[in-house]
Chains A and B, each alone.
Chain A
Amino acid sequence: MRELFRRQPKFSPTAPGDETRSIPDDLWIKCPKCNELQYSKDAERNLYVCPRCGHHARLSAAQRIDTLVDEGTFIEYDAGLTQSDPLEFVANGEAYRAKAASAGRKTHTNDALVCGTASICGQPVSLAVTEFGFMGASMGSVYGEKLVRAIERAIEGRLGLVTVSSSGGARMHESMFSLMQMAKTTAALAHLGDARLPHLSLLTDPCFGGVTASYATVADVIVAEPGAIIGFAGPRVIEQVTRQKLPEGFQTAEFLLEHGMIDLVVPRAQLPERIGTLLRHFAVQPEPAKSDDADITRSAEPAEALHD
């Protein structure tokens, strides 16, 4: 079990010339909302937020980590986990693992979640960030296992947990194993709560399905980026089922704030400071007194309790 906490300093998204940057230096980037053109260097400086309309473009996991954590503090863990194929899933002549491998070549990640430790405005955290470019950041076994390990790492190191989620939901290719990751990840959060450690959940565009219906909305504070589309059922599904045109602004971060579903809508540039402040406020909570009962109730290493 200790192996889980071994440092694996492989990933450094802030390194110069990093291959994981998906945008070359000499490119003009068009805002998908207002068509404003930005020079890529300027876009990077603006954190990929359109200076004209304020549209927050989607970020890769590496870009997200770059824009959120203190420079040079991110250490990745569990990067080596990759997909098993319990269903031997093949569709349209393409095997699941081949599909995942090809997604990985594009994103330079082995699955849809990148986990590690970092600090945000000086506050140490256990961090889990989705990579939407990897099969729509769908949640399967690797995603679930890495997230639970990130939660365990938070408990072990007395760190706050920050999750950044943008996902299409559970991953079809692992069927029930994927659905069960909703239960697995959410159940692990009960242990984090018992340890009186905060979970801050940042929802980014787009976030749906099994992720919205599990760990990402069981948090002490839920933050979303402006304009992010967030919901349980996707807009197309709702339109098909209800045969109604969806109202303007439906399922936006602002809509969720208005309906009491999230705490804050925070522009990207202010995220480190706001999350850092929240972490500081929650960090004053002392570790609960250890009693034998508490240890048994939710052992951090459940397998031990069940050893045959």
Chain B
Amino acid sequence: MTEQLNAWDRVQLARNAARPHALDYINELVKDFVELHGDRLFGDDHALIGGIGDFRGRTVVVLGHQKGANTRENIDRNFGMPRPEGYRKALRLIRQAEKFNLPVLTFIDTPAADPGLGSEERGQGNAIAENLIAMAAMRVPAIATVVGEGGSGGALAISIADRILMLENAIYAVASPEACATILWKDAAQAPAAAEILRITAHDLHGFGIADEVIPEPVAAHLQPSATIQRAGDAIERHLRDVEQTIATMGIDTLVATRYAKYRGIGRWVDNGETILRNGTVTNAPNGTEHVTSMQHSGSR
């Protein structure tokens, strides 16, 4: 049903207030979940939640952006926009996952990292950056699932993972369509056009080799929340098993090296007139230089 939608339609679906948010996924998929609070430095962020629980037979650490279902909730959740405390809480829990050798599952759903005065004072940029390096090198498996809005650096900060899955009507972008439209045409009302240009849909990102799998939404998630969540849970479990298999047969070092190679390989550029694809297939490299591609695992399921 949702196959014919354009990018802007999907933005609307991704932002739909009734769409299942991180806690809906956690409550349905993670048994005996215990939410853990605070960054031990400044405060507890309500826009980025984390905790520990049982996902289909194994203990996992869970992180997620949390939006509200209504205005009152959204004020409490800061509309899903984490402050530095949220990212530092996430970092604390990532360290905890490593300490106890637990997989990390993350649920991505944020318009952006909080752009407020306090966030600047407390080092929003650094808080995001420290998560990127920690997650790139962490010695436990991680599966990130974009369930709604993947808003730029605020989303990226908890989505460095061995697999990136996207719900069919989720989006993931370098800038919101509104921000892009403002930059390009000084008019936020042109956001629908910007959404098309930015190539932000799950199918786009799967095509680019950035998303590893698109989780279908035959019916939009907010109309069938439970079925959608279970489908996402199945995909997460399948990828997690696959990653655990890698660890069992080749060791955690291979997994960490594979994760690095995935990110090392992302990007496209032209060298001496030839387009070198670093995230897909090999092209003929100039001057006999062989540009080996990185990888693409299980992307075409």
A binds B: yes
A interface residue numbers (CB < 8 A to B): 3, 80-84, 86-87, 89-92, 140-142, 144-145, 148, 170-172, 174-184, 186-191, 209-210, 212-218, 231-233, 237-238, 241-242, 244, 246-247, 250-251, 259-261, 293, 296-299, 302-307
* CB–CB A186/B270 < 8 A: no
CB distance from A249 to the nearest CB of B (A): 12
Given contacts A142-B269, A260-B123, A298-B256, could you give 4 more A-B pairs where the C-beta distance is less than 8 Å? A80-B272, A148-B264, A176-B205, A306-B295
Q: A218-B129, A302-B294 are in contact. Are A184 and B263 (CB under 8 A)?
A: yes
Question: Chain B's nearest CB lies how many Å from the CB of A304?
Answer: 8
Contacts of A181 in B (CB 8 A): 266-267
B199 touches A176 (CB 8 A): yes
Which residues of chain B come closer than 8 Å to A188, judged between CB atoms?
A: 264
Give the CA-CA distance A296 to B292 in the complex, in Å.
19
Known interface pairs A170-B152, A302-B294; A232-B125 also in contact (CB < 8 Å): yes
Known A246-B117, A305-B257; contact A177-B267, beta-carbon cutoff 8 A: yes
Question: CB distance B115 to A238 under 8 Å?
Answer: yes
B137/A232 in contact, CB under 8 A: no
Instruction: Give the nearest-CB partner of B121 in chain A.
Output: A259
Pick the contact of B208: A86, A144, A238 (CB < 8 A): A86
Pick the residue among B113, B129, B208, B293 that contacts A303 (CB under 8 A).
B293
Complex formed: what's the CA distance from A242 to B119 in Å? 12
B136 touches A80 (CB 8 A): no
Kindly provide the distance from the CB of B62 to the nearest chain A CB, expressed in whole angstroms. 21
Surface stretch bound by A, among B25-33, B48-56, B172-180: B172-180
B269 touches A183 (CB 8 A): no
A194 to chain B, nearest CB (A): 9
Closest residue of A by beta carbon distance from B274: A84
Minimal beta-carbon separation of A2 from chain B (angstroms) = 9
State which of B153, B198, B256, B294 has its C-beta within 8 Å of the C-beta of A87.
B198
**B122/A259 in contact, CB under 8 A:** yes
Chain A: interface secondary structure?
Answer: helix
Q: Mark B92-129, 1 if CB is under 8 A from A, else 0.
A: 00000000000000000000010111011111111011
On whether the beta carbons of B256 and A297 are closer than 8 Å, the reply is yes
Question: Which residue of chain A has the shortest Cβ distance to B136 in the bound complex?
Answer: A187
Note all chain B residues with C-beta closer than 8 A to A180. 156, 210, 263, 266-267
| Residues of chain B at interface, number, CB under 8 A | 67
Residue B71, interface by CB 8 Å: no
B134 to chain A: closest residue by CB: A190
**Cα separation A206 to B57 with both chains bound (whole Å):** 50
Chain B contacts of A260 at CB under 8 A? 123
* CB within 8 Å of A: which B196-210 residues: 197-200, 204-205, 208, 210
Given contacts A172-B174, A259-B121, A302-B294, contact A183 B156 (CB under 8 A): yes
Interface contact A297-B253, CB-CB below 8 Å: yes
Q: Indicate which residue in A184, A213, A251 contacts B267 across the interface (CB closer than 8 Å).
A: A184
Which residue of A144, A176, A212 contacts B174 across the interface (Cβ within 8 Å)? A176
Contact assessment for A92 and B185 in the assembled complex, using a CB-CB cutoff below 8 Å: yes
A298-B137 in contact (CB<8A):
yes
Contact (Cβ within 8 A) A144 B254: no
- A sample of 8 cross-chain residue pairs with beta-carbon separation below 8 angstroms, ordered by A number, consists of A84-B268, A142-B269, A187-B137, A187-B160, A190-B136, A213-B126, A233-B120, A251-B120
Q: Are A189 and B292 in contact (CB under 8 A)?
A: no
What B residues does A307 contact at CB under 8 A? Answer: 292
